[in-house]
Structure 1
Amino acid sequence: MYVPAHFAMTEPEVAELLANAVTADLISPTDDGLLATFLPVLYDPVAGSLLGHVARNNPHWRATGGQSLAIVRGPDAYVSPRFYASKAEHGRVVPTWNYTTAHVHGRLVAHDDVEWLRALVTRLTERHEAAAGDFSEDRPWAVTDAPAGYIAGQLRAIVGVELVIDRIEAKSKLSQNRSEADRSGVVAGLSAGDCAGQPVASAMRRADPTC
């Protein structure tokens, strides 16, 4: 990935991006070409891995030879030239896109152990139920709420995948190459726009409190 020095992420920033990641595009080489799967993930900083699962009928879990790549995305948003203070000064501005992303390289390992899978889907469920809010139940849904036999059947229908991380390329493009006035304008513009822009505005504030 092309990463100019002013867009490079620090190790703590990379760790935060991976910890907050909820999905990734997993890409692996096969004899028939590249195979890609979008899947929910968990980052395990102790093991240095990204964890997920795929349907047993999905051949991706068999693609364990060679290097695989997981593309993790943070917030992203369109940046209009209207946001820049420099537009009024000289007009030499064009649209762009602000975003954070990481390319996570590593070795893919398949897990066909029921208890490993049960632990993973429990962790995934607890994480996302906690963020889902309280709509109709007094407590979040748990894996144990479903009949045991049904869950056992569902676990037999999936295979766990673990990307053991070798290296990470990460990029945070948040207008660092613009003036302070332009950055402040981008934050204001994104904050006033749709929901997609607001997380990027928040990320820019964290990266540069002067915004």
Structure 2
Amino acid sequence: MYTPPAFAVEDTTALYEMMRQCRLANFVTATPDGPIATSLPMFLDEAEGERGVLYAHLARPNPQWQAPVVGHGLAVFMGPDAYVTPSWYASKAEHGKVVPTWNYTAVHATGPVEFFEEAERLFEVVSRLTGIHEASRSLPWAVTDAPEAYVKAQLRGIV
């Protein structure tokens, strides 16, 4: 992503916070047949890897996990955005040399992609994702609230 130097964020802590705030990312992989993208809730485990590891899950029927990945994957976290009208600039009245723009925040995270099918690892991922998204609720739901046989069946449907 092209980022003018004046707008680049290099602070890892700030980038991680932006990723936590966005919650949903577009997961993009390049394949021999072209790019594939899926919108996924993701979480970052900052303790893993050199700069952290992102986790999510895909539905087993989603072809993205079966297509050979060319290079690294890309997770695009889009934050708040807004149109900026030239009418807001004082210089519009002075000389009229203004144009519209768009203000936005985004984090593009890249790295190697690993798909896995082990039920224990998948259970951990969905449990952590659920915990993150349920944490603010007065009565948070947990994966373990569902019947064990049902959870096992659902885990067979994801990677």
- TM-score using structure 1 length: 0.67
Q: Secondary structure at the match of 2:9?
A: coil
- 1:84 is aligned, of 71, 89, 97, to 89
2:19 match: 18
Q: Hey, what's the Cα distance between the residues in 1 that align with 2:129 and 2:89?
A: 40
Decide which structure has greater strand share: 1
**Residue 3 of structure 2 corresponds to which residue in structure 1?**
3
Counterpart Cα distance in 2 of 1:146 and 1:14: 34
User: Equivalents in 2 of 1:33, 1:140: separation in Å?
Assistant: 40
1:147 counterpart residue number: 147
Name the one with the larger helix percent: 1
SS at 2:113 equivalent: strand
CA deviation profile, 1:165-208 (whole Å, cap 9, x unmatched): xxxxxxxxxxxxxxxxxxxxxxxxxxxxxxxxxxxxxxxxxxxx
In the TM superposition, what whole-angstrom CA distance separates every residue of 1:123-157 from its partner, at most 9, and x where no partner exists? 111111224x45xxxx1222122111111111110
Tell whether the 8 Å contact from 2:43 to 2:56 is kept in structure 1 after alignment. Answer: yes
Structure 2, unaligned stretches of length 5 or more? none
Separation in 1, partners of 2:29, 2:60? 16
Counterparts of 1:103-122 in structure 2, within 5 Å, are: 103-122=108-127
- Matched residues in 1 for 2:45 and 2:99: separation? 40
Q: Which amino acid aligns with 1:37?
A: T
Count of aligned positions: 154
TM, length-normalised to structure 2: 0.87
Larger deviation, residues 122-131 vs 34-43:
122-131
**2:62 is the counterpart of 1:61:** no
Query: What percentage of residue pairs aligned between the two structures are identical?
Result: 49
Q: What is the match of residue 41 of structure 1?
A: 42
Q: 2:24, 2:39 within 8 Å by CA — same for their partners in 1?
A: yes
